[in-house]
Structure 1
Amino acid sequence: MTSPSPESPATAYAERSYRSSSGIASGVLLLALGAWLGGDAIVGGTGRVPWLSLAGLLLAVPLVVAFTLRPAVFAGDDRLRVRNPFRTITVPWAAVETVRAGYSTELLAGGRKYQLWALPVSLRARKRVARQASRSTAVGDPALGGGGAADRAARAWSDQAVEELRDLAEKNASREGAQGEVVVRWVWEVVAPAAAGAVVLAILLAV
């Protein structure tokens, strides 16, 4: 499914998806850099260098994937699914208390607070949008202040996404399939390799 870019958040899809394009780009670059440097050390290194490099990659690669490529938010008809670096949180719409964006984007559900890593808050983007809105207002641009899509367009991407998620929660909370409890699952396929890499690296450095 096509994920929205920071300039155009998801619109009407059966399941909307939200991801940070800048996070994905940085993750790809970090993985490429790690493969280049780590591969060179493994192939051309001597002594313990290849083993240290291999253990370092085993630790670093899952962490890079977890914090850059993995984060995503999926909004369906019945529930919201949040993929954070080490956990997946599935929240029926009826259990959503609110979604808010201050210095970070947060989901309140089931009496607990969860960060939405896929929706980073950019204060710079907010300031840029505010400056654009001020200039448009100063010149009497009728596109602003008219409500609806025009108002949403004059907001930072993360703020637009938060508003959409609030609207979906309000709209779908009464659905029969949107009832239930919050389910949190640890992503062991990410945690286990990183932990193994950290243990191996510690042992190699200690001996």
Structure 2
Amino acid sequence: MTTPDQQSPAPQPPRPTTRDRIYRSPMGLVGGVLVLGLAGWLGVDAIISGEGSTPWLALATLLLVVPLVVAFTLRPAVYAGEDRLRVRNPFRLIVLPWGEVASLRAGYTNEVVSKAGDTYQMWAIPVSLRARSRAARKEARRTAQASGGGRGRSRGLGGLSDVDVHDGPVRAESDQIIHNLRQTLEAREQASTAQGEVTVRWAYELLAPAVAGAVLLAVLLAIG
């Protein structure tokens, strides 16, 4: 029995049962790091060793180029949680509760459409037409193999072995990601915790230095 002086511990908010799934472009990350390394090497060398207005031109160029490279290569990401989808594009962060997502489209670009009719491209999940064509050819071969007997044969280390028929069609990686997101949408769009408003925040931390670099570069070029 508790006395008035003994306070029961305050209830803790429930923790999410699963972590957000994060989707990013590996090629974008690698390309961004390489471009930043090259730009840093050339820019710092010009600032240290340059003469006249060269150091200032190099500084202005770095102020313009670095935020743009970060925005289009390192920043894009898609976070799929239990209650919401967060789309981090080059200059915006869009948060969409699953209850506000109308559809997910996979065409020449991957897009999420809100119930208000707004469309947001998902930069972190680029479409590869080559990968999509390769997946279509694999799916066609698998369908032909299945229609010829249901199961194919493949020679393994111990001789002939049955080839398992995978569940579902063969998809390109980006199309598979969209399929997984659609499954999450179907499962969570009616949940009470997945309701709310769509919010959009601009990445001023990248826009401000890029604009400052562009203005400084224009002034330096104008005055010669």
TM bin, normalised by shorter chain, reads: 0.7 to 0.9
Q: Which has the higher helix share?
A: 1
**Percent of aligned positions with the same letter in both sequences?**
57
Match of 1:164 in 2: 180
Say whether residues 1:71 and 2:87 are aligned partners: no
SS of 1:40's equivalent in the other structure is: helix
One-letter code aligned to 2:87: V
One-letter code aligned to 2:104: V
Say whether residues 1:52 and 2:68 are aligned partners: no
SS of 2:171's equivalent in the other structure is: coil
Match of 1:199 in 2: 215
Report how far residue 176 of structure 1 moved. 1.2
Task: Tell me the distance in 2 between the aligned counterparts of 1:147 and 1:134.
Answer: 14
Match of 1:62 in 2: 67
One-letter code aligned to 1:201: L
Report how far residue 111 of structure 1 moved. 1.4
Match of 2:199 in 1: 183
Q: Which runs of 5+ in 1 are unaligned?
A: 1-11
One-letter code aligned to 1:104: T
Structure 1 residues 1-207: aligned runs within 5 Å: 13-109=18-114, 110-140=116-146, 141=152, 143-144=164-165, 147-148=167-168, 151=169, 154-207=170-223
Q: Calculate the aligned-residue CA RMSD, in Å.
A: 1.6
Report how far residue 139 of structure 1 moved. 4.6
SS of 2:200's equivalent in the other structure is: strand
Task: Tell me the distance in 1 between the aligned counterparts of 2:97 and 2:144.
Answer: 43
Task: Tell me the distance in 2 between the aligned counterparts of 1:135 and 1:37.
Answer: 50
- Which whole-Å deviations, capped at 9, do the CAs of 1:150-194 have from their partners, x for residues lacking one? x3xx21111011011111111111111111111001010011111
Match of 2:160 in 1: none
Q: Say how many residue pairs are matched.
A: 191
- Which whole-Å deviations, capped at 9, do the CAs of 1:58-113 have from their partners, x for residues lacking one? 00000000000000000111100010000000000000000111000011013100
- Which whole-Å deviations, capped at 9, do the CAs of 1:15-43 have from their partners, x for residues lacking one? 11110111101100110110111112111
Report how far residue 14 of structure 1 moved. 2.3
TM-score when normalising by structure 2: 0.81
TM-score when normalising by structure 1: 0.87
Contact 2:20 2:82 in 1 (8 A): yes
One-letter code aligned to 1:77: E
One-letter code aligned to 1:59: L
Contact 2:18 2:82 in 1 (8 A): no
Report how far residue 137 of structure 1 moved. 4.1
SS of 1:204's equivalent in the other structure is: helix
Task: Tell me the distance in 1 between the aligned counterparts of 2:97 and 2:145.
Answer: 45
Q: Judging changes above 3 Å, is the alpha-carbon distance between structure 1 residues 25 and 13 closer, same or farther for their aligned structure 2 residues?
A: farther
Q: Which runs of 5+ in 2 are unaligned?
A: 1-16, 147-151, 153-162
SS of 1:111's equivalent in the other structure is: coil
